[in-house]
Chain A
């Protein structure tokens, strides 16, 4: 066991997978000589060279496409997109090609790419660097979408993603790269499907994914002081979604809140609410609550930004509402 940061966990997964298999390569802007915007490939350029740690031009659609093409020829590219906002430029190759080639070829050709990208708000990065597009990938058939909440999953899910034959989108988070956690020294893998109860509780279920899991955990602590026992469920994977774990937890607590950093309309939370309605309507003792970002482009002004983005405090108050305490 050693305590390592989220970025180190990603770096270790890159290193091990590249050492294990020559067909694994990494591509992205500034990932080589510069060592990576979030150091995810730090030092690996010297170890694996420019043919495997590939510094790309600022051509997201086509370098993602090149990664996809290489994957069709048997390679295992890990494609870094510096910010999920720039992934919008790669949507044609991702959504129209990678997500569909396996299906429209009748299962003949796989696109085993991994696309890693931070997708959340940081501090005052303003509208064009604060997109949270989880919902868009979540609604695209043919992709896997995972949202590691800490180093353990960041490492283990990246390793599984490299070995999966499907295109996997890994949504990381600017505010989590320095988050630390103990992880085993031996090699291990974490599944690309399945939610996880990260805190047991009996009165209410707080559902989160990616960064919002941490908001839920902070809120759960405060609720405990109020004598409310909150269970926290990390979805881990948005696609495929683990409906069963949602149902189990809601049937246990009978009360539920969904916390997301995305805007609400047609968002991840909307889908989870639909699942709750369809799968465990009669288990509910109270009206569920969604905590989400305001329906605005993320403002630059710090006060406005704070008002737009959900906080642990919002989750706490939302939970009190579900509990009928306010």
Chain B
């Protein structure tokens, strides 16, 4: 990784944080409705893992799937930030044409296969995407990002078992922020180290610091190489922390200011900025310029696009309920 890449990575993480901060403001202005779950604090995980995956190349991308906290994963996979923002605004130009919203960002052109609200639901979907890759003989893999809480769903165990028996090319990324909404992991989960839970399925697994992007990248590279080489599934756990509430309506009464401050000392952007400054790759003054550029881009391009885009037409209410374009390979009257 050269200096330009390192600078770009730092810029990306700062961008994600400002992007999420700006969605928070838009939510307060009631431009965004529904549930909004922000990724603030966890940036190094998605950024680092997906930096090591195949992204931004359209149909050749690895498949990526996650839960409702999905904006950053979508963008890092290749979705256009303005389309993600337009989706949050419920606009026709949004990634899901305004039909999905914050929790359901999809970008099929980049193999970003969606954000899902049902905790644990993406596990089998990811394994299925991996089955598709394996069956078609491509060297793509499927990457599934989920929280620590999701591991208590039945789908976790069912899917780990099948992924292993069928040797599927899937990487499960557990973003362990220690909370499922307001419940601390030690109140809900018998085994605190999540990576240990898949030993029951004899699956390759490891645990790492999720606040340091260099560590995330190094560990992810190994895991991704393992999966891509056909050795089977891998479960990787990153210890991380979400700074904001679970969603917008969360007073965080379940944790202490001290705990928050402790984690923020190891802020992923701070760690990486200091490292790049120390290595002489970037100067403190450059950061200010970078932030200014990012804010301008968010305001003048992304927000503007979302604000000015049209809403879906009411006449199109039932469009997309069923597929309007039957399979082209079909000959003859399929439906009628």
Contacts and interface: CB of A to CB of B under 8 A. Distances in A.
Interface string A62-99: 11111111111111000000000000000011001100
30 contacts: A22-B135, A25-B135, A59-B161, A61-B158, A62-B127, A64-B124, A65-B125, A69-B113, A69-B124, A69-B130, A69-B132, A70-B129, A70-B135, A102-B321, A102-B323, A103-B99, A104-B104, A105-B96, A105-B114, A106-B98, A106-B320, A109-B106, A109-B113, A109-B114, A142-B321, A144-B322, A164-B335, A191-B335, A194-B336, A240-B322
Interface of B: 63, 65, 94-100, 104, 106-109, 113-114, 116-118, 121, 123-133, 135-136, 142, 154-155, 158-159, 161-162, 165-166, 319-327, 329-330, 332-336
Contacts of B118: 92, 96-97
B135 A23 contact: yes
Contact of A65 (B124, B133, B323, B336): B124
A164 B327 contact: yes
B320 A102 contact: yes
A206 B320 CA distance: 34
A160 B133 CA distance: 25
Contacts of B135: 22-23, 25, 51, 70, 75
Contacts of B124: 61-66, 68-69, 93
A141 interface: yes
A106 B106 contact: yes
Contact of B334 (A25, A62, A192): A192
Nearest to A67: B128
A107 interface: yes
- The 5 A-B pairs with the shortest beta carbon distances in the complex, nearest first, are A69-B128, A73-B132, A65-B124, A106-B97, A62-B158
Point out which of A105, A144, A160 has the most chain B C-beta atoms below 10 A from its C-beta. A105
Contacts, number: 186
A107 B330 contact: no
A48 to B, nearest CB: 12
Contacts of A59: 158-159, 161-162
Contacts of A194: 336
Contacts of A108: 96, 106-109
A165 interface: yes
A112 B327 contact: yes
A193 interface: yes
A61 B325 contact: no
B334 A106 contact: no
A105 B127 contact: no
Interface string A146-182: 0000000000000010011110000000000000000
A23 B132 CA distance: 8
B295 to A, nearest CB: 29
Contacts of A62: 123-124, 127, 154-155, 158-159, 162
A107 B158 CA distance: 29
A110 interface: yes
Contacts of B114: 101, 104-105, 109
Given A63-B124, A141-B321, A163-B334, 9 more contacts: A54-B166, A61-B154, A69-B130, A70-B128, A70-B135, A93-B125, A105-B96, A163-B329, A191-B334
Contacts of A218: none
A72 B126 CA distance: 10
Nearest to B323: A165
